[in-house]
Structure 1
Amino acid sequence: MTPRALLSRLPFRARLAAAIAGLFLLTGIALLAFVVILARYGTAQQADGISVTYGDASTTRAPTFEPVRPTRPDRTSPAVDDVAMIEKIEKTVQAVQDTALRQMVLWSGVGLLVMAQVAGLIGWWLAGRALRPVASMTEAARRISEQNLHQRLSLTGSDDELHRLADTFDSMLDRLERAFESQRRFVANASHELKTPLAAQRTTLQVGLADPLPASLVDVREDLLTTNHEAEQLINALLLLARSDRGLDEPENVDLTAVARLVTAELFSQASAHGVHVDLSADTPLVVRGDAVLLRHLLTNVIRNAIQYNRPGGDVRVQLDITTVTVTNTGSRVPAERIPDLFEPFRRLDADRTATTGHGLGLSIAASIAEAHHAALTAQPGPEGGLAVTLCFP
């Protein structure tokens, strides 16, 4: 893994603290190099400017003439001694200068590393202080959902970038709350405005075209009543889809095992008409948190689909365990790449899924209800044909 990739995996707070420590270290190294170069240059200039005085001929007494004595051949003259002394002094000064520079570089480097760590810790603390409003906004955003869109961040403090970001987020929540309220009103109004005319139409057909009727009108009446019934079913399915997309209002504990038994009992006549055997097995009770009406519709849609798209004499197996519900049938083989299309509204695989029965909304409604309950609804081809639909709760 490259250093860039490793650094990108660190939290933003750690990266910010590391950047502060690294910047401090780089500037400290540059400052230390600058001081060392100037110190070496300055001491060299000072050493070159030092003058050594050995005496002045005008201020000394005139030497007295004494008898010349023979000198020893191994005795060093004063001039040679002075030159040696100067060289010794220069070497000493150079050694002192080198030692001082080395000690300065050593201890300055140690101090720089220590201070870089201190700067990193201070940077970590400052980053935490600076990012505290961001953390509070993140936590508030996690708490806010469709059921509590009235909550706001309401960030206090100076009018800076973070404060403006929080105000923008609050404005977005205002627009979302108005949109959800508008959707709720639409669903409530549509439930009455759309179903009432259909009910009146059905009553009119039943009363106005009551028996006795000419034989030519009997089939017309039955077709109109069938169309009316299908329209009611479609509207109910769309309203149920809109309700499940809106989320849960007041979740409660639901015994899904009892719901499954009730649904299989209700669909027994339909399964018998298709020549399909439905088998329910539940090893342990499955109790989940959610909406009992929506969960009942979910199981009804999934099990009805398994009955409707099955072969004559086929089987439907409904199995419940601690966290999952699995519904399998023995219908025709379904290509794995076409399974995602089953969860799209008004989508069917082939001519077997005709428009004469159903509207292609069963599994899409089931998937929406599962999402509202934070559950996962998946499907895969069965080993002997058909589908194996699994509903997994957290």
Structure 2
Amino acid sequence: MRLSPRALLNGLPFRTRLAIAFSGLFLLAGTFLLAFVVLLARYGTSQKVQGISITYGDLPSGRASPFDPVHPTRPCLTPDPPSDVAAIQKIDQTVRAVQDTALHQMVLWSAIGLLVMALLAGLLGRWLAGRALRPVASMTETARRISEQNLHQRLALTGPDDELHRLADTFDTMLDRLERSFESQRRFVANASHELKTPLAVQRTTLQVGLADPLPDGLTEVREDLLDANREAEQLINALLLLARSDRGLEKTEPVDLAATARLVTAELAPLAAGAGLRIECVAAAPWFVPGDPVLLRHLLTNLIRNAVQYNHPGGHVRVGLDGSALTVTNTGPRIPAHRVPDLFEPFRRLDADRTTTAGNGLGLSIAASIAQAHHATLTARPGPEGGLTLTLRFRPGAP
């Protein structure tokens, strides 16, 4: 595929484009100046040659001394043809030849000098562009280091009050707003963890104590329904708090054996899978250490495997595989249209499909995707050819 010159130019770094612009402008201005000088020189020389009057006189006989005075001679008004006419023609041709040669040499060496100066102007322009863009490079490096864990850092650009200084001040003001927003979110999560879960715990204790056995048959069923609703509300709150925590990013990391974590989570969910009539297995050849938060990574694998168990059919299977570069969770189940796969990662979005367990809150895969993003990993889903879903988790080398 051929690229247009504009596309090639736009693909170059800004510093290189600025240097090319300097060279181009210098070359264009130099070419215009050179053409202007050549035209004027040629026109002026022609006018001067036409205005020259050739005079001849009697030359003194003998060898003249270089120190002898030269006296003007009387012009010869009527030169003797044809020898004088031929001499004038030769002189005219000589003058024109000298003029053409001089112009040719002037154009040639001026063009060479112009190209050399254009190259030097480009190199000088690149150096000047680097000097001018040095504050921008410093701002970029500082902005790259700033994340949700060190929002207290600022660009703090020094120097005159120019466009770059105002840009840095605007960026620092934006960081102030972001820092206040993150601090507000952290306070909300910390407060919600206590303010929302404590009333549910009190409510559950009251139901268990106030409606203790023996109870009439009607109240026993009501008590179980209330306890189920209480547990579902607590699970929903825990899921929302976990989602908020993963969205904030990681405060610290440590090496986590993902293979061991996968085997542990698979063993914990084996009774749930057996109760649904499913076969579940974990294939992990060797330990696989990744940097991350062990609690969040365990929740990530739990949500992936639990989702594979819930969205399945009796007699199906769930397979968890690790090969040192990716983790895959594959299950059987109903067919899922490819265009509906992105909806699985949206909070509170569930597809109308058969489930082998009780209904969840629709936050499992969205929490998993948020935890994966916090660890700079990618979580993708692909429908199986005969139904079910294949979830693939890949970690970026050296992340987070």
TM-score (ref. length: structure 2): 0.90
Deviation at 1:48, TM superposition (A): 2.1
**1:178-209, Cα deviation, whole Å (9 max, x unpaired):** 11111111111111111011111111111111
Equivalent pair of 2:314/2:356 in contact (CA under 8 Å): no
Report if the CA contact (8 A) 2:312-2:355 is conserved. Answer: no
Give the secondary-structure state (helix, strand or coil) at the position aligned to 1:288: strand
Which amino acid in structure 1 is aligned with residue 354 of structure 2? D
Question: Per the alignment, in what secondary structure is the counterpart of residue 39 of structure 1?
Answer: helix
Alignment-derived partner of residue 190 in structure 1: 192
1:303 maps to 2:300:
no
Q: Is the 8 A contact 1:375 1:392 kept in 2?
A: yes
Q: Name the SS of the counterpart of 2:291 in structure 1.
A: strand
CA RMSD of aligned residues (A): 1.8
CA distance in 2, matches of 1:185, 1:38: 79
User: Which residue number in structure 1 is paired with residue 282 of structure 2?
Assistant: 280
Paired residue for 1:291?
293
Distance apart, 1:171 and its partner CA = 1.0
CA contact (8 A) 1:156 1:163 kept: yes
Deviation at 1:101, TM superposition (A): 0.6
Report how far residue 336 of structure 1 moved.
1.4
Equivalent residue runs for 1:4-23 within 5 Å: 4-23=6-25
Contact 1:147 1:249 (C-alpha < 8 Å) held by counterparts: yes
The number of residues matched between the two structures is: 376
For 1:244 and 1:12, locate their aligned partners in 2 and report how far apart those are by CA, in whole Å: 37
Residue 246 (structure 1) shift: 0.5
Does the 8 Å contact 2:338/2:383 carry over to 1? yes
CA contact (8 A) 2:135 2:164 kept: yes
- What's the counterpart of residue 98 of structure 1? 100
Structure 2 unmatched ranges of 5 or more: 59-72
Aligned match of 1:243: 245
Paired AA for residue 314 in structure 1: G
Q: CA deviation at 1:294?
A: 0.4
Distance 2:301 2:178 in 1: 31
Q: How does 1:1-394 map to 2 (within 5 A)?
A: 1-54=3-56, 78-352=80-354, 357-394=359-396
- Asked whether the equivalents of residues 277 and 316 of structure 2 are also in contact (C-alpha less than 8 Å), the reply is yes
Distance in 1 between residues matched to 2:128 and 2:168, nearest whole Å: 20
Deviation at 1:82, TM superposition (A): 2.4
Distance 1:246 1:143, change over 3 A: same
What CA distance in whole angstroms lies between the structure 2 residues aligned with 1:281 and 1:53?
112
1:42 Cα offset (Å) = 1.5
Query: How high is the TM-score relative to the length of structure 1?
Result: 0.92
Runs of 4+ in 1 over 4 A off after TM superposition: 353-356
Alpha-carbon distance between aligned partners in 2 of 1:239 and 1:353, rounded to the nearest angstrom: 25
Matched to 1:317, the amino acid is R
> Quick one: distance in 1 between partners of 2:190 and 2:329?
33
Contact 1:285 1:321 in 2 (8 A): no
Structure 2 CA distance for partners of 1:355 and 1:30, relative to 1, 3 Å: farther
